[in-house]
Chain A
Amino acid sequence: MSDYFLSIKKLKLVPFMVLFTSCIENAPMDSLSPEGPYARTIDNLFWLTFWIAVGIFFLVQTVLIVAVIIFRDKPNNPEPKQIHGNTKLELLWTVIPVLILVAIAIPTVKTIFELAKEPENALKVEVVGHQWWFEFKYPQYGITTANVLIIPEDKPVRLEMWSNDVMHNFWVPKLNGKRYLVPGQLTYLNLYADNAGEYWAQCGEFCGLSHSKMRARVISLNSSDFKMWVENEQKEARRPEEGTLAAEGEQVYLNAGCTQCHIINGVWDVQGDRVAPNLTHMASRHVLGGASFKNNPTDLTKWLSNPAAIKPGTFMPNLELTEDEIVALIEYLGTLK
Chain B
Amino acid sequence: MSKSLQGKKILTVFKRPSSSEGILSWITTVDHKRIGIMYGYAAFFFLLFGGLEALLLRIQLAKPDNDFLSAAEYNAMFTMHGTTMVFLAIMPISAAFFNYLLPLQIGARDVAFPRLNALSYWIWIFGGVFLYSTFIFGTAGAPVGGYLAEEISWLGNAPNGGWFGYQPNASFKYSPGTAMDYWAIGLQILGISSLISAFNFITTILNMRTKGMRLMRMPVFTWMTFAVAFLLAFSLPIIAIALFFVTFDRQFGTTFFLTEGGGDPVLWQHLFWLFGHPEVYILILPAFGIVSEILPTFSRKPLFGYAAIVFAGFGIAFIGFGVWAHHMFASAISPVAQAGFGISTMVIAVPTGVKIFNWLGTIWGGKISLKTPMLFALGFIAMFVIGGLSGVTHSVVPADTQQTDTYYVVAHFHYVLFGGAIFGIFAGLYYWFPKVWGKMYNETLGQLHFWLMIIGFNLTFGPMHWLGLQGQIRRTWVYAEETNLGFWNLIVTIGAFIIALSIIIFMINWSYSRRKGPAALMDPWDARTIEWTIPSPTPVWNFSTPPEVENLDDFWHKKYGEDSEGRAVRRDTADQLLIDLEEDGLNPKNHIELPNPSYFPFILASGLPLLGYAIIYKSIALAGLGVLLLLIGGFGWALEPIEEVTIANPSVSNGGVEDE
Contact = CB atoms under 8 A, between A and B. Distances in A.
Interface of A: 16, 20, 22-23, 25-32, 39, 41-42, 45-46, 49-50, 53, 56-57, 60-61, 63-64, 67-68, 71-73, 77-86, 89-90, 93-94, 97-98, 101, 104-105, 108-109, 111-113, 115-116, 131, 165-167, 169, 171, 173, 176-180, 182-185, 187, 200, 202-213, 215, 306-309, 312-318
Interface string B112-156: 000000000000000000000000000000110111110000000
Nearest to B140: A209
A187 B265 CA distance: 14
13 contacts: A45-B399, A60-B382, A64-B360, A67-B360, A71-B363, A71-B368, A80-B568, A81-B301, A108-B397, A111-B397, A112-B339, A116-B335, A211-B75
Contact of A67 (B167, B264, B364): B364
A26 B562 CA distance: 63
Contacts of A212: 71, 473, 475-479
B143 to A, nearest CB: 6
A273 B227 CA distance: 55
B342 A166 contact: no
A173 B401 CA distance: 9
A105 B398 contact: no
A23 B467 CA distance: 10
B330 A28 contact: no
Contacts of B364: 63, 67, 71
A39 B148 CA distance: 38
Interface stretch (B189-197, B206-214, B343-351, B448-456): B343-351
Contacts of A182: 265-266, 331-332
B630 to A, nearest CB: 36
Given A85-B305, A183-B168, A42 B347 contact: no
Contacts of B347: 101
Contacts of A211: 75, 475-477
Interface in B71-94: 71-72, 75
Contact of B378 (A64, A94, A108, A318): A64
A64 to B, nearest CB: 6
B470 A31 contact: yes
Among A27, A56, A131, A187, residue most surrounded by chain B Cβ atoms (within 10 Å): A27
Given A209-B75, A306-B149, A104 B346 contact: yes
Interface string B477-520: 11110111101100000000000000000000000000000000
Contact of A112 (B367, B381, B397): B397
Interface in B349-368: 349-350, 353-354, 356-358, 360-361, 363-368
Nearest to A174: B471
B471 A173 contact: yes
Contacts of B400: 177
Given A27-B485, A28-B482, A184-B264, A77 B346 contact: no
A183 B368 contact: no
A72 to B, nearest CB: 5
Contacts of B149: 306, 308-309, 312
Among B148, B162, B332, B565, residue most surrounded by chain A Cβ atoms (within 10 Å): B332
Among B303, B470, B474, residue most surrounded by chain A Cβ atoms (within 10 Å): B470
Interface string B159-175: 00010001111000011
B363 A67 contact: yes
Contact of A80 (B338, B346, B367, B395): B367
Contact of A68 (B70, B350, B370, B471): B370
A30 B469 contact: yes
Given A16-B466, A94-B353, 9 more contacts: A27-B471, A29-B470, A67-B363, A67-B366, A72-B368, A83-B301, A112-B397, A177-B402, A212-B71
Interface stretch (B403-411, B597-605, B639-647): B403-411
B251 interface: no
Contacts of B365: 71, 80-81, 83
B72 A209 contact: yes
Contact of A313 (B143, B367, B395): B143
Closest 8 CB pairs of A and B: A29-B471, A177-B401, A184-B259, A85-B305, A313-B142, A309-B149, A212-B476, A308-B149
